[in-house]
Structure 1
Amino acid sequence: MESSKQRTSRTPSSAGRNSQSSLSVGSDSSRTGSKASHPVSFDPNTRFVMGKPEPPTDLPLLPMPSPVLSLDDLSKLVPGVQIPDRNYSGAESNSGIDRRMKSPVIESSPYLPSSAKLKSCDVYIGVHSSKPSLLRFAKWLRAELELEGVTCFAADRSKCKDAVAHSIVERAMDSATIGVVFVTKRSFSNAYSMYELRSFLSRKNLVPIFFDLGAADCLARDIIGRRGEVWERYGGELWKYYGGTEEEWKEVVNALSYMEGWKLEASLNKLRDCISEAIILLGRKLGRRSVVERAKRWMEKAAEEFPFPRNDSFVGRKKELLELELMLFGDLNENGRNECFELQNIQRRRVKNKDGAEMRLGTQTKGKEAVVWKESDVDIEMESNASLPKHFQLSAGKSGSRQTRRGQPTRATYRKGIACVSGERGIGKTELLLEFAYKFSQSYRMVLWVGGEARYVRQNYMNLLYLLEVDVATENQLSLESNKPRNFEELEGEAVRRLRKEFMRDIPFLIVIDNMESEKDWWDAKNIMELLPRFGGETHIVISTRLSHVMNLETLQLSYLSAAESMCLMKGTLRHIPAGEVSALRAIEEKLGRLTFGLALVGRVLSELLIGPQGLLDVIDQTPDQEAIGGADPFFRRHPFLIRLIELCLANIKQVDDIASRMVIASGWFAPAEIPVSLLTLVASSGGLQKQNKGSIWNRCLGAVTRRCFMFQKKWSEEESSNALIRWGLARTVTKQGYIQIHDTIRLYARKRGDTAVAYAMVQAINSKGSLLEHREHIWAACFLLFKFGADPAVINLKALELVCFVKQLALPLATYTFTNFSCCNTALELLRLCTQALEDMEASTFSHYDKKNNKSIFMGSLSTPTKKFNARLYKESTTLKAIIFEIRAKLMLQGGDPDIGQQLCRESISIREVLYGWDHPETIYACNTMGKLIRSQARP
């Protein structure tokens, strides 16, 4: 046993030090217990010697008086203590009067926030680094554990100010069941890290996490001898840095290398996997079976996070990927400083020259200057330089979000947690976002892909409630402000608030909103940004759009590929192209407008056809323009060559599989999501598409080209037809089995080429084979074709029987599902209203010639023999369905706190059922009970 002088210093020698505290946690500073040790504080001027681990009872106990501290004093000692400001606006401040003493509450630290006022904790997390990536990982791990009900205490002892803060950390270490300590390249030269490792090793409850470091690299002889790439810079006799002994230092390092099964390794390319392993390991050690099961279930969900597989043929965009990384993460350098790219105008001041005239420093005599990012270890400021590229310049105009008052600097900061990619249709925005998501998927708990089309974006976003297992109950609850039942606006706002709360934890998510068409919600014209979480948190948001500006966000304008990258796309799978054909490819590139989608399509055509680039160019030039399609959309008017290229692909597909070419035309009326191959084939096989895809012009133009490629035609299966579309580049593979997704440009072309007969076939297919859980987006697409939403007219009209079946089997369940699971109350109510209106219009047009007043008895008699003039069965089905819809709307009005309208709707339902069944029928009695609930809710004070 060593002498007391060589033991760890346990006296409060650093009480007056003013270093910043990283204490985060859950412990009460006034708590006492049998295992409570005394404050530990390390004085850099005192020699620190590591001693052998001793039980807490053998440590010298020094009596520590408990001083009477005010809240202000406590906040000065422990920066983790945050004192809420209780001064209200308009109240006078009495600085001379002492505040009333209250018990201190240790709340969130600016470094690692944790649970407050913990008497004991399950897991102690020791972090001794200011590296942003490590701090982000530590906060992520703590948040995951606390979400599972595991109490945590996270702290960086090197930032503790005094003995009080060290005492809190010591007590947390003693009470912790498991000690998690992050081991980095600098940990072995840190006194606090070595102390924590030795302490938990002696208790056999240490779980080390090697961050950006391999466990096999931690050998004492390699570190001392500076062997290997890692220790050539960070190695040496590290115990001398904090005044320890070589023997004890080697003992800790060697013990780490000999540990089996309890150590984890985390690197930047597998952060999520390490988090999952850590949660499962800690859950097993703590005996929490639910924690382990939930972690495994979440890993299964994360395996299906991407809508598309990774594009192995992704070309270029390295600079854009780097800019996205900087926008979201900032410049996180190895030294631990968060070097965000920040733009700030130089503060200008007036000075006098030798002649006495005033002049401004930092400006020129006339003209506006660009601003340049200047990187520095201390700050990043703007310099004047007119030779920068456009995307590295900040506009100095007076319009937009950059407009500020005179004398105030304009500031634009990276690492706000949101990035917006803007570009033309077919330029490659989705591919860029997909590549970024795959590249950085391990930095997030999950990638959440949201379709951004105007009619679907809100529901797609609220669908994340189900994915994140957020409970959104729509039962009638009282509003806190008015003490009345919540209205629909409050119900929707509560659902959005709960979803935003999930994203505002320290658990990072990546939300990808692909192809956002508008800043405003199509349903209620609200700003889409109101749905998103607060910017600057751990959750990051990436948006792709064709809009030039999205709110006040700085968009990353996506430009065209370089000449070499374009050539790589157009070559496709061809390894060699003769030098004489290169000029033909360049001509095709120019005629396509250098669109990335068109270039990739050329590569697919050259790979499938026995034709060279010059032959392909000649064939396309000989064909006339499709004026009907080109004049219908501005995009196709600008790119007529692309239309002819798409026609070429369809004509060649038709030579082999006629069904596959019809599938392309049918896709234009489906929702902008993955489409079931079975439904697409069903629509393509209908009689409405027989006249949609003739291809006579292309048969004359192609001539022997297609005959040499395809000698005979056979009947292909659904899978073979879908694979043909994927090979030709018209569709893309999705991760969901049995589905494909047609490219957005091809869908637009199909919609302009098809007519209402195709739309009618699509609605019929949905009506016969649609499923609410599997085809929800496409059922909505059918509703948009069938009903008149807002100013958009109805595209098709169903027969009476088909309309009743569609409303009963699909539209009505869709409305209730949308209201209950997504809290999209107004959307569901509008759909129910349109269903009622459609049924009433159908009855007016179908049964208006029949005098129903003289034939009420027909509802009580036989319904098996419908007459030519009046189909009693159909009329009863329609009327019963209306009564059901009226009652459902009344119940929803009850939940939304509007009983007046609910009573009117319920009366309609009761009157219909009294005529159909009588006043004593169970259905009528049930509707009367609903009316009673509405009356009682209205009478409630």
Structure 2
Amino acid sequence: MAAKALSPYISPRALAPTTTNNSTPPEDPAPPAHPSPPASFRGAGSQSDDIPSSSYTPPSDQYEFSDDPYDAKLKFVTCVSVPDPAPPRVSFSFPVPRISFGKGALSPAANAKLRSCDVFIGFHGQNLNLVRFCKWLKSELELQGIACFVADRARYSDGQSHEIADRVIRSVTFGIVVVTSSSFMNTLSLEEIRFFAQKKNLVPLFFDTGPAEVTGLLNSDTTDKECREAIDGLIKCHEFKLEANEGNWRSCIGRAAGMLRAKLGRTSVVEKDVEAFEEIPFPRNRYFIGRERELTEIENALFGSGDCFEQDYTTSIKGEASGQSEGLADEESETTTTRGGRFISLDVGKCKEPKLEAWVEPVLGRNSLKRLKYKKSKSGSYRGLGSSVVCLNGIPGIGKTELALEFAYRYSQRYKMVLWVGGEARYFRQNILNLSLNLGLDVSADAEKERGRIRSFEEQEFEAFKRVKRELFRDMPYLLIIDNLETEKEWWEGKDLHDLIPRNTGGSHVIITTRLPKIMNFDLIQIPPLPLSDAMILMKGRKKRDYPAQELEVLRKFDEKLGRLSYGMWIIGSLLSELAISPSALFEAVDQVALDGSSSNTSYVSLSDDQFCKNNPFLVKVLFFCFNILEQTSVRRNLMASKMLLVGAWFAPAPISVSLLTSAAKSMPASGNQLNWTKLFGFSCCLAPKTWKSEEDSAVLLVKLGLARTANRQPGYWIQFDPITRLFARRKDGSLAAKATVQGLRKFGNPVLNSDHLWSCAFLVFGFKSEPPLVQLKAIDMVLFIKKTALPLAIRAFTTFSRCNSALELLKVCTNVLEEVEKSFVSQIQDWCHGSLCWKKSLNPGSQRVDEHVWQDVTLLKATLLETRAKLLLRGGHFDSGEELCRTCISIRTVMLGHNNALTLAAQETLAKLVRMRSKI
């Protein structure tokens, strides 16, 4: 009776009989005899994922299960509720005997760690989505500075695990119980609810159920007393109204974190200063049609079946053993990969203070795991349940991007954040590093170090990439969409896609859209053409007009002629919505467009892109028709939209602000070979009556015709051109539009907002690798371009994103170009002197005159580039090369500016630092 007075209730697991002899004090029950964890699991330097974390720690990679039943180190348990253990266990409210971990007892620091947990998160069930949700909740709370312990205690197989969980439950400030329909069939979950409810610190979170459904259990005759007490406690504590369903995971977790943060007084914890941005780059397509089968297949591939057992989220790469990925983030993983079940362990040897994690997961046997490992998809192939990476494969224009966009909007609540990056080869690496701005990460290069080891450029780039990768692929779930991946090899350094995407992506999912028939060993979902019924709806346009049978037959012709490409059908629907024209008249007009060699310039496109155009001649005719329609926009023949189309093809494949697009379009001369469509075809196909006045209206027109899409960027209005639109525009007009793009960016380019487009201009002006430059600039224009565009771009790439080698390569190319300009000046002077000595009269004396001011600007800019390169080489430990460049810079400035000039003295100071650092090696 004395014992009962200490606790409001007795745990169902407290089965020890009560003694009536008061003369003998009761002794603590002996600890259950369970095998200690193997030494390999508890060794110094290892970090288990099974101990409660009392502070936010760097994210760790996931573990992989082993299904080898013959491994002597493994202990197998079944994925069912744990039966009452033979040794008696007492209620949370009773003193609990201290059980040592392995061979040694808990240290005082470890006990302090256990007592410092703020929140216990309890759940029960084998639903993959439930486990994913609980891990996300734990990560989000830790991000807010709240120490958490997460456990499904029904899956614990040893007394030590139960012991740790009991200690945490008794000491936490709040107890979150994730309530599911299976919670009421588990005595441990009921025990958690009753205990926290009686302590008045229960925070119930209903997952795929609700208070009404739970209350209905009270009317059941089979509900026992303990279950009724638990339900009563849930109803009384439902003031927080936390209910999670498939459409509000993110909102629910955000509310829970905010509420607990306020109650715990963690207002001093400030969230990361993340640059404001729109997660999904484009608005949702209100006219999206079909693809339900593909969406379901993606969902099943990523989330699996909600009723199947929890298992490893990762599909192993063929021919490789299960284990850690060879990717960047995994090479220095702070966790330990086990080949069996997970044991509660305590690691105090590696870190300054013990790190405790709460996650105990059982291992399925070989047969049970293999039965659940694969599921046959609708396409007939077997796809792994819970796969983390899915590739959408299909020909250009089939609708891969639209499908990924629709999935992102439908399932965005299941992710902490949706991250969208372009997969084009030249920009892919920078696009990945740009995620650091969205995630609030610092990936800047090392500053100058007078002491300590200076890391090489390769190490700094490796570390920057690893930071982004480590943040992406942990328990916090992100959806990473790589759109239009062009190659598995990175363009700059030829690194493999393995370096970005590990075999184990944690809670994150990756969707890749690509034309490539195979990407590593990831699951492929082939995107077929739209069924004819959906295609007909798409071609009827936004206004969905009703057409007679003859016109519907013409729409079927469009479907056939366009190769059933969704992109082409969308343009047809846009034309029918914006033009006063019938399908038959439109078909006649498009069919009469002549395709000759003079209208296409194939020198600016790749062989594969040129072959695509040859295979789809009718689509090219449709695009020619659209282009000429733009030139007939209004009575005043406003050609701004057509110019925007031509220059937009030479920008980077990223959103473009209308102001920047307008700046480039105004730099382009007007085309003189416009066609009179009304005279040519004998009918009127004009746009709906409207006066297009502003530049934004011209951009809106491109969107209305289906050639571009609106982007979610601020400030102002932003659009992005479809890859096929860009391909057509490059074939239509090359050099003039490319040069106008460079000139427009030089006048308006912002290194922060338009870094991708600045890189595209650098490729146009300098070439790079085996590609020759496409734009030739005069000497004065080249000086301005390097000073205003290339130099700031290189410095920002180096300092902000640790793109050390790429930045130095750009600066080196700029230096070489200026040296060529200097040689041309010298050659002109020599030619002029030779002509005067021989008494030869020049036909155009002005053409031989060299502007001394321009020559001086070229030489001084070259010195600036040399000094900048020397300073950057200093950060990577390349002292000899930096010293050589700096001495050349000093020589130039001494001659041009004088020995005591401020710029000369600054270069001498840089040289002194290089010499001093080299002497310390």
TM-score by length of 2: 0.79
Within 2, Cα distance between the matches of 1:524 and 1:892?
Answer: 19
Structure 2 vs 1, CA of residues 512 and 885 (structure 1 numbering), >3 Å: closer, same or farther?
same
Deviations 1:499-555 (A, max 9, x none): 121123210111111111111111112213312344342111111111222233342
The Cα shift of 1:382 comes to: 9.0
Aligned to 2:641: 660
Give how far 1:391 is off. 4.0
Q: Is the 8 A contact 1:445 1:509 kept in 2?
A: yes
Cα distance in 2 for residues equivalent to 1:340 and 1:794 = 44
Task: Please give the alpha-carbon distance, in whole angstroms, between the structure 1 residues aligned to 2:475 and 2:100.
Answer: 35
With over 3 angstroms needed to count, the CA separation of the structure-2 counterparts of 1:433 and 1:487, relative to structure 1, is same
Does residue 903 of structure 2 align to residue 923 of structure 1?
yes
Partner residue of 2:210?
214
Any gaps of 5 or more consecutive residues in structure 2?
A: 17-28, 38-47, 56-80, 320-366, 603-609, 834-845
Task: Give the corresponding residue for 2:654.
Answer: 673
How far apart in 1 are the matches of 2:489 and 2:462?
16
> CA separation in 2, counterparts of 1:668 and 1:636?
16
1:500 is matched with 469
Specify the SS of the correspondent of 1:655.
coil
- The one-letter code matched in structure 1 to 2:753 is E
What is aligned with 2:150?
154
Q: Which letter maps to 2:415?
A: Y
Task: Rate the CA distance shift 1:129–1:391 in 2: closer, same or farther, 3 A.
Answer: closer
Q: Is 2:371 the partner of 1:379?
A: yes
Q: Helix, strand or coil: the match of 1:555?
A: strand
The normalised TM-score by structure 1 is 0.77
Task: Give the % identical residues.
Answer: 39
Shift of the 284–595 alpha-carbon distance from structure 1 to 2, 3 Å rule, reads: same
Q: Which residue of 1 aligns with 2:432?
A: 461
- Alignment partners' CA distance in 2, 1:130 and 1:594: 43
Name the structure 2 match of 1:789: 768
Q: What is the aligned counterpart of 2:199 among 198, 203, 209?
A: 203
Q: CA shift at 1:662, angstroms?
A: 2.0
What is the deviation of 1:876?
2.7
- Where 1:331 maps in the other structure, the secondary structure is coil
- Correspondent of 2:291 among 304, 307, 317: 317
Contact 2:279 2:420 in 1 (8 A): yes
Name the counterpart of 1:544.
Answer: 513
Contact 1:27 1:106 in 2 (8 A): no
* Amino acid in structure 1 at the alignment position of 2:564: R
AA of the residue aligned to 1:442: Q
Number of the residue aligned with 1:779? 758
Match of 1:587 in 2: 557
Q: Is this contact kept in 1: 2:297–2:377, CA < 8 A?
A: no
Q: 1:224 aligns with which of 218, 228, 243?
A: 218
The one-character-per-residue Cα deviations of 1:737-769 (angstroms, maximum 9, x if unpaired) are 411111111111001111311111111111111
Give the structure, 1 or 2, with the largest relative contact order (CA under 8 Å, sep 6 or more). 2
CA distance in 2, matches of 1:449, 1:267: 25
CA separation in 1, counterparts of 2:741 and 2:550? 47
Which amino acid in the other structure matches residue 462 of structure 1?
L
Instruction: Summarize deviations over 1:569-602 as a string: whole Å, max 9, x none.
Output: 1111233111122221111111111111011111
Partner of 1:768: 747
Alpha-carbon displacement from aligned partner over 1:64-95 (angstroms, at most 9, x marks no partner): 4x577645xxxxxxxxxxxxxxxxxxxxxxxx
Q: 2:302 aligns with which of 328, 343, 350?
A: 328
What letter matches 1:873 in structure 2?
A: H
User: Which residue does 1:900 correspond to in 2?
Assistant: 880
**Is residue 224–residue 237 contact of structure 1 (8 Å, CA) maintained in 2?**
no
Q: How far off is 1:257 after superposition?
A: 2.1
CA deviations over 1:244-293 (Å, ceiling 9, x no partner): x36xx4444234323364341111211111121121111111111244x5
Q: CA deviation at 1:886?
A: 0.7
| Partner of residue 723, structure 1 | 700
> Which residue of 2 is the match for residue 142 of structure 1?
138
- 1:532 is matched with which residue? 501
**How many angstroms does 1:161 deviate by?**
3.7
Could you tell me whether the CA contact under 8 Å between 2:52 and 2:150 is conserved in 1? Answer: yes
Aligned match of 1:242: none
Question: In the alignment, does 2:465 pair up with 1:510?
Answer: no
Aligned to 1:392: 380
Amino acid at match of 1:502: E
| CA drift at 1:629 | 5.2
Is the CA contact (8 Å cut-off) linking 1:451 and 1:513 kept in structure 2?
Answer: yes
Determine the C-alpha separation between the residues in 1 that align with 2:677 and 2:616. Answer: 19
CA distance in 2, matches of 1:252, 1:701: 81
Q: Which runs of 5+ in 1 are unaligned?
A: 29-40, 72-100, 108-114, 227-235, 240-244, 346-374, 395-411, 855-865
Q: Which amino acid aligns with 1:203?
A: K
Amino acid at match of 2:512: I
Q: 1:7 aligns with which of 6, 10, 14?
A: 10
* Whole-angstrom distance in 2 between the partners of 1:342 and 1:870: 65
Residue range with higher mean Cα deviation, 656-665 or 426-435: 656-665
Partners in 2 of 1:479 and 1:134 — Cα distance? 51
CA contact (8 A) 1:126 1:182 kept: yes
Q: CA deviation at 1:167?
A: 2.9
Query: 2:683 aligned with 1:734, yes or no?
Result: no
Helix, strand or coil at the partner of 1:332: coil
Distance 1:14 1:703, change over 3 A: farther
Q: Is the 8 A contact 2:121 2:149 kept in 1?
A: yes
Deviation at 1:921, TM superposition (A): 2.4
Which residue pairs with 2:400 in the alignment? Answer: 429
Matches of 1:840 and 1:342, distance apart in 2: 52
Task: Tell me the distance in 2 between the aligned counterparts of 1:522 and 1:218.
Answer: 56
Q: Is the 8 A contact 2:34 2:159 kept in 1?
A: no
| CA gap 1:43/1:22 in 2 versus in 1, 3 angstroms | farther
Q: Distance in 2 between matches of 1:919 and 1:631?
A: 53
SS for the counterpart of 2:898 is: coil
Aligned to 2:361: none
Counterpart mapping for 1:24-423 below 5 A: 24-26=51-53, 44=84, 61=95, 64=97, 70-71=102-103, 117-219=113-215, 222-225=216-219, 237-239=222-224, 245=225, 249-259=227-237, 261-291=239-269, 293-294=270-271, 301=276, 304-333=278-307, 379=371, 391-393=379-381, 413-423=384-394
How far apart in 1 are the matches of 2:150 and 2:464?
Answer: 31
Cα RMSD of the aligned pairs, angstroms, is 3.8
Distance 1:473 1:916 in 2: 35
State the one-letter code of the partner of 2:640: I
Deviation at 1:714, TM superposition (A): 4.6
Deviations 1:754-789 (A, max 9, x none): 131111111111111111111111111111111131
Q: In the superposition, relative to structure 1, how do residues 870 and 622 fare at CA in structure 2: closer, same or farther (>3 Å)?
A: closer
Partner residue, 2:525: 556
Q: How far apart are residue 466 of structure 1 and its match? A: 1.9
Structure 1 residues 743 and 537 mapped into 2: Cα distance closer, same or farther (>3 Å)?
A: same
Question: Are residue 488 (structure 1) and residue 467 (structure 2) matched?
Answer: no
